[in-house]
């Protein structure tokens, strides 16, 4: 997926997130994030947006911590979130392809990294915001291409890092296969960080099959265990391992 497409998705998903948050109310429970209310979701996502904007707009070439979450609520919090989202979209749209700045996963360029990362950060949290409205079947869709791209980022990016907690003393191989886009990933799970290949070669212990959207949300733990949208064949131990250890935290 091209950088311009990621930015387009970021713009749309961020607007949907704010709209859902406003409709749900800031004290509504975020069903997909136990213990969070909508205000917590807005503070977190808005903080991440501003953190990313600083790297893109100011060209920082080394890690810098975020400024932290604001002590805002009500309409001022919603306005703060919308403003930060707009700033991020503007910064990415105006950044040159030659942008040099810090990034924390391999990518064709820092600009490509931040556009992709923030598109998926915002998409997953938009799903969270809509969960506060009780939306499941009626939530805004995640397009197949975006969903498949997000699966790739999660498997080949986040969980290829040494800090991944998805580890087991009983090695096994997990395959993820999208029924609509034709993408396949094979993930070796062991006592080391997962190793993922974009291949359907070789036997596996467990396979997850379904539409890209369902697999995307399942692997991000936004669908309940046992969702009929995802078919599981083989050793379900590996899907339980993923659900118990794969959460990406700030």
pLDDT tens digit string along 124-150? 999 999 999 986 667 899 999 999 999
* Burial (Cβ within 10 Å: 0-12, 13-18, ≥19) of residue 50: buried
Shared domain for 91 and 151, answered yes or no, is: no
Per the structure, how many domains does the chain have?
A: 2
Q: What's the pLDDT score for residue 222?
A: 95
| Whether pLDDT at 102 is above 70 | yes
Q: How far apart are CA 129 and CA 124, in angstroms?
A: 9
Q: What residues contact 147, with CB distance under 8 A and at least 6 apart?
A: 178, 181, 211, 212, 213, 215, 216, 217
Shared domain for 39 and 98, answered yes or no, is: yes
Percent of the chain having pLDDT more than 70? 99
Shared domain for 177 and 233, answered yes or no, is: yes
Shared domain for 10 and 124, answered yes or no, is: yes
Q: How far apart are CA 216 and CA 154, in angstroms?
A: 9
Q: Domain range holding 175?
A: 144-245
- pTM, entire model: 0.97
* Burial (Cβ within 10 Å: 0-12, 13-18, ≥19) of residue 75: exposed
Asked whether residue 136 is assigned to any structural domain, the reply reads: no
Asked whether residue 93 is assigned to any structural domain, the reply reads: yes
Shared domain for 29 and 78, answered yes or no, is: yes
Return the DSSP state at 202: S
Say which CATH number the domain at 176 has.
Answer: 3.30.1050.10
Q: Of 105, 131, 157, which one is at a domain's C-terminal end? A: 131
Q: Of 107, 131, 155, which one is at a domain's C-terminal end? A: 131
Shared domain for 19 and 104, answered yes or no, is: yes
pLDDT one-digit tens code per residue, 40-98:
999 999 999 999 999 999 999 999 999 999 999 999 999 999 999 999 999 999 999 99
- Mean pLDDT of the residues in the chain: 96
Shared domain for 162 and 83, answered yes or no, is: no
């Amino acid at each position: 997926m091209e950088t311009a497409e990621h930015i387009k998705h970021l713009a749309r998903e961020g607007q949907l997130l704010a709209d859902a948050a406003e409709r749900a109310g800031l004290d509504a429970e975020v069903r997909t994030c136990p213990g969070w209310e909508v205000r917590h979701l807005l503070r977190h996502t808005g903080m991440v947006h501003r953190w990313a904007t600083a790297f893109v707009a100011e060209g920082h070439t080394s890690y810098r911590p975020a400024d932290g979450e604001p002590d805002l609520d009500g309409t001022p919090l919603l306005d703060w979130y919308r403003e930060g989202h707009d700033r991020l979209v503007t910064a990415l749209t105006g950044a040159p392809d030659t942008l040099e700045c810090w990034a924390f996963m391999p990518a064709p360029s820092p600009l490509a990294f931040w556009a992709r990362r923030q598109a998926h950060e915002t998409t997953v949290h938009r799903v969270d915001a809509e969960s506060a409205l009780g939306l499941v079947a009626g939530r805004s869709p995640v397009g197949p291409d975006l969903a498949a791209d997000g699966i790739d980022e999660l498997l080949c990016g986040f969980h290829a890092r040494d800090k991944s907690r998805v580890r087991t003393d009983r090695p096994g191989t997990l395959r993820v296969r999208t029924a609509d886009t034709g993408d396949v990933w094979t993930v070796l799970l062991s006592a080391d960080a997962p190793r993922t290949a974009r291949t359907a070669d070789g036997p596996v212990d467990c396979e997850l099959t379904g539409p890209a959207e369902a697999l995307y949300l399942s692997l991000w733990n936004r669908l309940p265990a046992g969702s009929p949208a995802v078919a599981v064949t083989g050793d379900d131990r590996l899907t339980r391992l993923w659900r118990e250890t794969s959460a990406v935290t700030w």
